Structures are given as C-alpha cells and as structure tokens.
Amino acid sequence: MATAKQWADLGERTGWTVLQSGVALTAVEYLGLPEFWAVLVAGALAGVKGYLASRVGNGTAATLPQHLERH
C-alpha cells in the first residue's frame, strides 16, 4: 500500500506533467506551430520548473512541502 508521501509525490509529478503539456499544447495551437513543437515546449517547461524549484525550494526539483517529500 502506498504511503501519503508516495501519493503526494505521484500527485505532484502528475500535476506538473499535465500542466506543462496543457500549456505546451495551448501555446502551439495559439501560435499555429506544428504539433511536434509541443514536445519541445513541454520539455523546456519541465526544465524551467526543475531549475526554479531547486533554487527556491529545499534544493531538490520537487515542489512539495518538505514534510511530504520522499527521501
């Protein structure tokens, strides 16, 4: 059975993936770019999220509160 920390980790990863994909698809549609650009935009957003989270958070790429982060 999964622990609360594991569920929180899964939820965080899933949430960010959905958000990044949605933003990428919306940007590609709005700009009229070919669909393959959505993969590149989503990847770039993932990189930006990881960078910012490691600088602002507790040193990892996670955006979970520290008490929920798995170690």
Contact 69, 59 (CB under 8 A): no
pTM for this entry: 0.79
pLDDT digits (tens, 9 = 90+) for 5-47: 889 888 988 999 999 999 999 999 999 999 999 999 999 999 9
Count other C-beta atoms under 10 Å from residue 49's C-beta: 15
pLDDT digits (tens, 9 = 90+) for 40-69: 999 999 999 988 888 876 777 778 777 777
- Residue 56 pLDDT: 78
Domain boundaries, the chain: 15-55
Give the C-alpha distances (Å, rounded to integers) separating 65 from 26, 28, 33, 53, 70. Answer: 29, 32, 36, 11, 10
